[in-house]
């Protein structure tokens, strides 16, 4: 997957990075947000759908994981490989686990497929859970007010699914209107939660969360998190009275601040 500095900067802006955070939005000494890897790996899930593993219009993004091996360079051509890791039978639904991996990161996409279970396969894990030791220290909270243009901007990073731009397509899918990309919500959370860790956003080492409700462009995302006994940050996010990210966990490491290579 080839990308330019402009692509990395566009992604940073699409997940709400302020213009004064020059390390992320200015090509001089540019740092790439690690969650940009989720954009670079998304083709794996799209390819699985194109090959008939699932019908994209009937699928939901259930959960996401990211493990960072080394920083992404400001621009480059990353050789990302993909595979289907598992298919779970949940009875009334199925879950397809797709993995994208390269030298820089490993990303896991859990695709929830309603009405496609019941064939007698293994049930698999019940959910992505934050299994950190008991939280310690005070609760940290923060919020980010999305713009009504947020989904229109984020789709320019590569996710052109119609429910994020076309109200008719969103209504046909049973949604009240256009929704924000789950990976945009997660990218915002990872960037904001870095503050709770006393870290910089590009120091993210691992991330996971479960998507439990959509965010509408213009909603305010309210984040709440606590540091676990192992140093991981456990977090949840709410918008419009619903939990939109659950079982969240993020680890930030100074190694993320190393010069990309």
User: At 6, which helix (H) or strand (E)?
Assistant: helix 5-14
Candidate list 9, 163, 179, 221, residue with the active-site label: 179
- Specify whether 231 is catalytic: no
Q: Write down the catalytic residue from 159, 188, 221, 248.
A: 159
Residue 84 has which token pair? Answer: 């289907």
CATH number assigned to the domain covering 2-257: 3.10.129.10
Residue 142: exposed, middle, or buried by beta-carbon count in 10 A (0-12, 13-18, 19+)? middle
Catalytic residue among 16, 41, 182, 248: 182
Contact between 154 and 14 (Cβ < 8 Å): yes
At residue 259, the pLDDT reads 52
Distance between CA atoms of 75 and 107, rounded to whole angstroms?
A: 19
- Please tell me what DSSP assigns to residue 128: -
- Domain residue ranges in the chain: 2-257
Return the structure tokens found at 93.
């639904």
221 noted as active-site residue: no
Helices (H) and strands (E) in the chain, counts: 6, 11
Phi, psi values for residue 259, rounded to 5°:
-60, 135
Q: Which of 73, 69, 71 has the alpha carbon at shortest distance from 4?
A: 73
- pLDDT tens-digit readout, 208-223: 999 999 999 999 999 9
pLDDT digits (tens, 9 = 90+) for 90-121: 888 889 999 999 999 999 999 998 878 888 88
What are the start-end ranges of the H helices in 97-158? 150-154
Give the C-alpha separation, 190 to 172, whole Å.
Answer: 31
Partners of 222 in the β-ladder: 143, 238
d(CA 171, CA 137): 43
Rounded Cα distance, 229 and 246, in Å? 19
Q: Is 182 a catalytic residue?
A: yes
Calpha distance 189→142 (Å, rounded): 10
pTM for this one? 0.92
pLDDT for 118? 84
**Residue in 37, 164, 181, 219 annotated catalytic:** 164
CA distance 75 to 8: 8
164 counts as catalytic? yes
Residue pair 62/95 in contact (Cβ under 8 Å)? The answer is yes
Contact 93, 115 (CB under 8 A): yes
Q: What is the pLDDT of residues 148-203, one digit of tens each?
A: 999 999 999 999 999 999 999 999 988 999 999 999 999 999 999 998 889 999 99
pLDDT band at residue 231, thresholds of 50, 70 and 90?
confident
């Amino acid at each position: 997957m080839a990308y330019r500095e402009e692509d990395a900067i566009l992604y940073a802006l699409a997940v709400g990075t302020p213009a004064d955070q020059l390390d992320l939005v200015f090509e001089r000494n540019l740092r790439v947000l690690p969650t940009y890897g989720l954009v670079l790996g998304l083709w794996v899930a799209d390819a699985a759908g194109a090959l008939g593993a699932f019908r994209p219009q009937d699928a939901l993004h259930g959960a996401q994981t990211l493990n960072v091996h080394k920083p992404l360079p400001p621009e480059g051509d990353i050789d990302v490989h993909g595979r289907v890791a598992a298919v779970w039978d949940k009875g009334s639904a199925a879950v397809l686990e797709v993995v994208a991996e390269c030298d820089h990161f490993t990303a896991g996409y859990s695709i929830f497929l309603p009405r496609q279970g019941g064939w007698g396969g293994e049930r698999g894990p019940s959910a992505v859970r934050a299994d950190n030791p008991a939280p310690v220290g005070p609760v940290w909270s923060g919020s980010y007010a999305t713009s009504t243009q947020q989904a229109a901007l984020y789709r320019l990073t590569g996710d052109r699914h119609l429910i994020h731009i076309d109200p008719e397509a969103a209504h046909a899918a049973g949604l009240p209107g256009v929704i924000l990309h789950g990976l945009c919500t997660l990218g915002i959370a990872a960037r904001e939660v870095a503050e709770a860790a006393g870290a910089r956003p590009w120091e993210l080492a691992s991330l996971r969360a479960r998507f439990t409700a959509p965010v509408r462009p213009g909603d305010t995302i309210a984040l709440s998190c606590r540091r676990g006994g192992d140093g991981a940050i456990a977090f949840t996010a709410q918008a419009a009275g619903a939990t939109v990210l659950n079982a969240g966990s993020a680890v930030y490491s100074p190694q993320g601040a190393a010069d990309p290579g």
